[in-house]
């Protein structure tokens, strides 16, 4: 069930006091050198993604492997690999990561079209001038309609037991996937999502999603788990703070909202504990 308002407020208050459980992160290697780790190119020539695959040391159950799909795989896939091998090496969980062959196009893939405000907005931040934006719907369609079917063709998968993880702009994309294709994944983990994008666009999406759920019967069924991890101290009312988004999600029946504050981590170091949180969430099912 969703987090109660009282419980949510206590978690928000704890953000300023709870010590981080994470160790200082290590810069992960680009590749995992292991017989169960591999990658392949996917997509049209000249515009391909590198799909990382980490097989478990376990046979698939009758319903197929559960799976974790992480974005920005150059950084995130090694984190998930190390966590799974240390924590649950025999668990039938297959790891996938979406990275890039050649030029990195993450701004294009992970964002909506950048908007310039008509009037000045406090704390407004735009995309770098040299970055192409606006491709997230095409990227999501690629994942849903091309990549996941291809992965299911190559490996025995339980398509109903999948988790998607994203950090920063990746977290922003994970939230958009939740709001537009909510049952594509059973669990959504957004670590320090870029909620500042387009002056709080994700919060407006969340409000529209909540309204749609209310109009369609008032509950999301089956239940979807959503975890939002945050580095640093909560800054309620600040456009870089996701707690307003957490409040909206926690009020939607059928969305099980989990908030993980890490006040002693920074934006980059949050990746290590948040990938471990995502694995634990996935293993709990």
Pick the CATH number of 5-115+130-284 from 3.40.50.1820, 3.90.550.10, 2.30.40.10, 2.60.120.470: 3.40.50.1820
pLDDT at residue 128 in the model = 80
- pLDDT tens, residue by residue, 215-229: 999 999 999 999 999
Of 174, 160, 253, residue with least CA distance to 213: 253
pLDDT at residue 3 in the model = 44
**What 3-state class would DSSP assign to 170?**
helix
Phi, psi of 174 (to 5 degrees): -55, -40
pLDDT at residue 121 in the model = 63
| Rounded Cα distance, 126 and 202, in Å | 15
> Alpha helices of the chain — where are they, by DSSP H?
5-14, 73-87, 106-110, 136-142, 148-154, 169-180, 201-215, 243-250, 271-284
Of 283, 238, 280, residue with least CA distance to 260: 280
pLDDT at residue 7 in the model = 43
pLDDT at residue 103 in the model = 75
pLDDT at residue 9 in the model = 38
CB 162 within 8 A of CB 68: yes
- pLDDT tens, residue by residue, 11-28: 433 433 333 333 333 444
Residues of the chain with pLDDT under 50: 1-29
- The sign of the torsion formed by the CA atoms of 151, 152, 155, 161 equals positive
Task: Find out whether the peptide bond into 222 is cis, omega within 30 degrees of 0.
Answer: yes
pLDDT at residue 42 in the model = 97
pLDDT at residue 66 in the model = 98
């Amino acid at each position: 069930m969703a987090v109660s308002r009282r419980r949510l407020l206590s978690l928000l208050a704890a953000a300023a006091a709870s010590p981080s459980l994470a160790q200082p992160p290590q810069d992960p290697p680009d590749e995992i050198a292991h017989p169960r780790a591999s990658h392949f190119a996917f997509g049209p020539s000249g515009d391909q993604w590198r799909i990382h695959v980490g097989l478990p040391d376990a046979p698939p159950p009758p319903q197929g492997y559960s799976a974790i799909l992480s974005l920005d795989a150059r950084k995130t896939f090694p984190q998930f690999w190390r966590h799974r091998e240390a924590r649950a090496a025999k668990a039938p969980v297959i790891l996938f990561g979406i990275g890039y062959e050649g030029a990195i196009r993450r701004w294009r893939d992970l964002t909506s079209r950048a908007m310039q405000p008509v009037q000045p907005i406090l704390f407004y931040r735009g995309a770098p001038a040299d970055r192409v934006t606006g491709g997230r719907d095409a990227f999501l369609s690629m994942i849903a309609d091309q990549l996941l079917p291809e992965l299911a063709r190559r490996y025995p998968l339980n398509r109903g037991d999948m988790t998607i993880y994203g950090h920063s702009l990746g977290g922003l994309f994970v939230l958009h996937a939740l709001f537009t294709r909510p049952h594509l994944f059973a669990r959504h983990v957004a670590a320090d999502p870029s909620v500042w994008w387009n002056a709080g666009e994700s919060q407006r999406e969340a409000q529209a999603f909540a309204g749609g759920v209310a109009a369609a019967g008032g509950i999301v069924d089956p239940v979807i788990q959503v975890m939002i991890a945050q580095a640093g101290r909560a800054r309620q009312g600040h456009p870089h703070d996701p707690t307003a988004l957490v409040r909206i999600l926690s009020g939607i029946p059928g969305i099980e909202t989990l908030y993980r504050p890490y006040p002693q981590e920074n934006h980059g170091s949050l990746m290590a504990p948040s990938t471990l949180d995502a694995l634990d969430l996935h293993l709990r099912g």
